[in-house]
Structure 1
Amino acid sequence: MSTNPEGATPGFLVWRLSMKWRVAVDRAVAPLGLTHAQYSLVASLYGMHRTGLRPSQRQLADHTGLEPLYVSKLARALEAAGLVERARDPADPRAVQLTLTDQGREVTRRAIGIVHGLLEQLLTPLGGLDGPRTKAFSRELATLLDVPLDPLDPPTKNETEQP
């Protein structure tokens, strides 16, 4: 399958690529005590902190695309590991804000470096991370991410036809 996608649907290829990526990241960050999902959370948190944000669990869920309940579960595990601190938001006592600990920042920096190397490997056939094909591919992926999907309300044939 990996060398001959003929006949495969785009949905199947997206699924296969996402599974390949998840497994590779899981294996790469396991020595740091992280899973792919935990990495996604701490790396996103790291990036948000660098821009001056101290997000709530809900904001982090919206940013990552993970379910809020799953983010809460991951945050608790990361807190138990000493990588994240959870605290009530003084402005909204229902919200829980997340912050990386010093150890969490160090582990996250190391994990980001490892995952960046994996990304370079993955994108080599497209010209590398900064290549024009990669940039075009990224724009196409972003376009697809912006499409709302509601499995209970699929578009009708008329809505999918081009004028």
Structure 2
Amino acid sequence: PIHEHQIFSESGNSHLGKIVNCWLEVKRHLNTISQQAPQPTTYQLIELFNKRMKCQVRPLDWAAHFLNPLNIHSPTTIEQQSAAFHYMNQFAPSRDIAVRAQRDFFTYQGRFGPFSVSNVSWKFEDPLTFWYAQQGFIPELANIAIRLFRTPANSVSSKRSFAVQNLIHNKFSNRLHPT
């Protein structure tokens, strides 16, 4: 599973709402291995993995994870929720909009109001389509979610666009030496 997630993260099909799930699935895989064949090195590997995950998974990843409608029933900790709110506070145009977005987040998690179970938006599996459908009802949270889900989850497309513009300068990409 680790290699599969690495390949997926480098593909164009990845978005920010899938990053945390990849980390959590690898963590489950490592925990399963440690239960099947307990060894000191396995526990060390899990400890290293947890440290790496804590460094790599940023507030925007947690926000995207919780705003992905496919993860609506995903359990959350106060620390993870705080990270998601940190992202909302940081990128909302004003404090007032951030507060409304956080309030709407609880409405979304509880599936109340515009997020009721009967809302047709829940049929959309694509988070970007889901949030575009919600934009007229709760623009503050929807705009934050749309920004998240329009952000590429990997650097491959960015590197490609910089290479096309000849903005990546190194011997390999510029062919400064004979091949």
Relative contact order: is structure 1 or structure 2 higher (C-alpha 8 Å, sep ≥ 6)? 2
Q: If the length of structure 1 is used for normalisation, what is the TM-score?
A: 0.32
Q: TM-score, normalised by structure 2?
A: 0.30
Q: Which has the higher Rg, Structure 1 or Structure 2? A: 2
Higher helix share: 2
